[in-house]
């Protein structure tokens, strides 16, 4: 929708302000702080591109018990229907009207949101071409995951244009998790993510 703020800027802007306020209290030069604030504001300008439609996906996977804290544990989920053609038909748009497709929201939880996920330290999720798996890009992440009791993890949506991957009939995602504690039990997990198609 027109005039909507960039999704990533709406998330990081409070953090930028908190950082600058902390530096100001420590006596950091006011002129430099003013310049930083101006640059941050200009970089997070209003996103004037029109959101044409949203494509939503949900995938499930299992975390096995007893996994260590040293390795990056990878969960590969392939053959996910793109749904791009269906959403174009549903909304009456053509692919030529789509300038880019970007992550909008990503959420990780147990299937019933009944498991405390504070054992998860880092999350990185990539989209890849199932016919050429090396053609991949990260589209959401959280590093580190805040250490507190939680039953779901809201990830930062990246700014990658994933159009090339969604133009295929199917794509895959690779979920990379690092743990701060040994995994406690078999956990049925769910990853929900939305992409937004943007006009010029």
pLDDT in tens, 17-64: 555 555 555 565 655 545 555 555 555 556 788 999 999 999 999 999
Give kind and range of the element (H or E) at residue 58. Answer: strand 51-63
Contact 197, 55 (CB under 8 A): yes
Reduced DSSP (H G I as helix, E B as strand, rest coil) percent helix, strand, coil of the chain, to 5: 25, 40, 35
Q: Between 142 and 40, where is the model more confident?
A: 142
Cα distances (Å, whole numbers) of residue 144 to 23, 96, 119, 124, 168: 22, 38, 11, 10, 32
Q: Does pLDDT of 135 surpass 80?
A: yes
**pLDDT, average across residues 139-148:** 96
Q: Which residues pair with 166 in a beta bridge?
A: none
pLDDT in tens, 87-102: 999 999 999 999 999 9
Q: Does pLDDT of 73 surpass 50?
A: yes
**pLDDT, average across residues 171-197:** 98
Q: What is the CATH number of domain 51-198?
A: 2.60.120
Q: Does pLDDT of 159 surpass 60?
A: yes
Which pLDDT score, from 0 to 100, does residue 9 have? 56
> How many Cα atoms occupy the beta-carbon half-sphere of 111 within 13 Å?
9
**pLDDT, average across residues 152-167:** 97
Average pLDDT of every residue of the chain: 86
Q: Between 41 and 144, where is the model more confident?
A: 144
Phi first, then psi, for residue 90 (nearest 5°) are -65, -35
Domain edges within the chain: 7-43, 51-198
Separation between Cα atoms, residue 179 and residue 66, nearest integer Å: 11
Separation between Cα atoms, residue 34 and residue 22, nearest integer Å: 14
What share of the chain in percent tops pLDDT 70? Answer: 77
């Amino acid at each position: 929708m027109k005039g909507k703020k960039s999704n990533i800027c709406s998330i990081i802007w409070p953090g930028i302000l908190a950082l600058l306020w902390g530096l100001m209290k420590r006596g950091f030069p006011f002129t430099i702080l003013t310049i930083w604030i101006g640059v941050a504001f200009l970089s997070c300008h209003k996103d004037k591109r029109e959101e044409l439609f949203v494509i939503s996906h949900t995938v499930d996977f299992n975390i096995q018990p007893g996994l260590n804290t040293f390795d990056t544990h990878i969960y590969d989920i392939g053959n996910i229907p793109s749904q791009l053609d269906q959403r174009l038909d549903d909304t009456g748009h053509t692919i030529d009207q789509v300038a880019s497709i970007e992550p909008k929201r990503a959420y990780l939880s147990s299937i019933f949101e009944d498991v405390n996920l504070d054992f998860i330290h880092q999350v990185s999720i990539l989209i890849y071409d199932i016919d050429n798996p090396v053609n991949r890009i990260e589209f959401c992440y959280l590093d580190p995951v805040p250490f507190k009791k939680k039953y779901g993890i809201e990830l930062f949506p990246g700014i990658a244009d994933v159009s090339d991957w969604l133009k295929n009939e199917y794509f895959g995602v690779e979920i990379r998790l690092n743990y701060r504690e040994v995994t406690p039990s078999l956990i049925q997990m769910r990853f929900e993510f939305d992409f937004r198609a943007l006009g010029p």
